[in-house]
Amino acid sequence: MKLTQLLASAAIVAALPFAAQADSAENKAFVLEALENTLLAGNVDAVDQYFAADIIQHNEMFANGIEAQKGVVGFLAGSGNFKADYVRVIADDDIVAVHARYEGFGETAMIAFDVFRVEDGKIAEHWDNLIPEAAPNPSGRTQIDGATEITDFDKTEANKALVEEFITKSLIEHAEVNITDYISPVTYIQHNPMVADGLEGFGAFMAQMAEQGISMDYTQVHQVIGEGNFVLTLSEGALGGEPTAFYDLFRLEDGLIVEHWDVIAPMPGPDAPHNEAGKF
């Protein structure tokens, strides 16, 4: 989706007569404007307008503070080939989450979730998770294609609660659950590069992991961000015994998960250039 389309959509939602929803849409429009006028424009001088002087940075490559943010913008501007495709943007009060594809960080395009917290009219905090773009999964789906329309604004809190309960019971507590209480048995579209559609595809992937002795364990959900039919969770845990950050985006219909995207990346190690604020 083009950035101009996202900005127009955010402006329309902001006009709706619901205070909390309007606040979220206003923050969404602000973050998109900030990204357009700094990162995409390569304009270091605009950083002060949009980012707090003491911005907290959870990307382990960058230090806290606005000077480091200016360094990021300057670096990308200097590369000459930075491109960003913001595919999905959801806002939950002061939190704005972006599902994106980036070119220009290296030879391989990157798929990412970026999460921003807005405070007093500035971006005050940033989290992210990035992985290299992979080939389409066994069902032919990519890491970013699929539905984008935000609907069911009145179901935001219920959808957030269902997703958090699913992760807590199924992936943290490993409790015996009826999976169809959470995931639709009819439609389950999967964008993980290694997993096919449907509950059968998910089961086959988990069985293959078990055969290879690879475990996937979630230990804590740090954030649950939702807008209507989309819910993004930021969790930590381990994959194959290695500390891992899990960012999972779910789309829901009629109280059930029907589509899933994720970015699963290693947690920062002791040799990370910066990790003053921690990953989460």
More confident residue, 6 or 252: 252
Q: At what angle do helices 19-35 and 3-14 cross, to 10 degrees?
A: 160
Which positions ≥6 away from 161 have C-beta within 8 Å? none
Give the separation between CA 79 and CA 241, rounded to whole angstroms. 36
pLDDT digits (tens, 9 = 90+) for 157-213: 999 999 999 999 999 999 999 999 999 999 999 999 999 999 999 889 989 988 999
What integer is the mean pLDDT of 64-78?
Answer: 91
What are 70's two structure tokens? 């200016």
Q: Over pLDDT 90: what percentage of the chain?
A: 80
Residue 174, classified by CB atoms within 10 Å of its CB into exposed (0-12), middle (13-18) or buried (19+), is exposed
Confidence of residue 276 (pLDDT cuts 50, 70, 90): confident
pLDDT digits (tens, 9 = 90+) for 14-25: 444 455 567 888
- At residue 50, the pLDDT reads 98
